[in-house]
A and B are shown apart, each in its own frame.
Chain A
Amino acid sequence: DQQVKQNSPSLSVQEGRISILNCDYTNSMFDYFLWYKKYPAEGPTFLISISSIKDKNEDGRFTVFLNKSAKHLSLHIVPSQPGDSAVYFCAALVSGNTPLVFGKGTRLSVIA
């Protein structure tokens, strides 16, 4: 069963606009969430994380929102740039250094 779900395989956004990538999870024990970005032929690169004690974390153009009651998180990129074009993975874990559980990823294309 898929504990972390990214239901949109792909997303296209105009340069300068907001990109919103969504992620849902089913395991209520998850309490730490991460977003990774992956370019072709490279490993995933850590982007931003959020602990379940927060509902928002911001780092420059990237903001992650967490809605625990809905078991939903989203990554906002504002403004989107062509260099943001990549596959974005949502991942979650239960505190205690347990393995990351990844979604299947969403391919973001930012069009100039």
Chain B
Amino acid sequence: EAGVAQSPRYKIIEKRQSVAFWCNPISGHATLYWYQQILGQGPKLLIQFQNNGVVDDSQLPKDRFSAERLKGVDSTLKIQPAKLEDSAVYLCASSDGKDSFQETQYFGPGTRLLVL
């Protein structure tokens, strides 16, 4: 079974530019998560989708970050405009969404973003 796919793996941009990340979850997984991991920290949830609906985006900086999952499968995360403090690894994870009680999340390899 294929894992969570993400692209690009690395991205370098200048501040105030825009950037987009793509995620393809494990086939059949209804729940998709985007996390931000700053160096030396654990991952922090940005947004959670259940199919194509947003479950939790309370920690998403909505003035500059946006995310969508239009057909309930792939998802994109966009930053516009980027700031220096957005330099981090952006991780996508998915879970099958069948057991709303306790589910294991599976992570992709991440996109490493450097904002100069």
Contacts and interface: CB of A to CB of B under 8 A. Distances in A.
A46 B91 CA distance: 14
Q: How large is the interface on A (under 10, 10 to 19, 20 to 34, 35 or more residues)?
A: 20 to 34
B33 to A, nearest CB: 7
Contacts, number: 63
Contact of B107 (A45, A98, A101): A45
Contacts of A51: 102
Contacts of B108: 43
B89 to A, nearest CB: 8
A102 B100 contact: no
A4 B43 CA distance: 12
A43 B4 contact: yes
Interface residues of B, number: 31
Contacts of B9: 41
Given A43-B91, A43-B109, A97 B42 contact: no
Contacts of B43: 44, 89, 100, 102
Given A32-B102, A95-B101, A100 B109 contact: no
Contact of B104 (A49, A95, A98, A103): A49
Given A36-B107, A43-B4, A46-B105, A96 B42 contact: no
A99 B45 contact: yes
Contacts of B41: 104
A97 B109 contact: no
A105 B95 CA distance: 22
A100 B107 contact: no
Nearest to A38: B107
Given A42-B110, A45-B107, A99-B45, 5 more contacts: A41-B109, A44-B43, A51-B102, A89-B42, A97-B97
Interface of B: 4, 6, 9, 31, 33, 40-45, 48, 55-56, 91, 93, 95, 97, 99-110, 112
Interface of A: 4, 31-32, 34, 36, 41-46, 49, 51, 89, 91, 93, 95-105
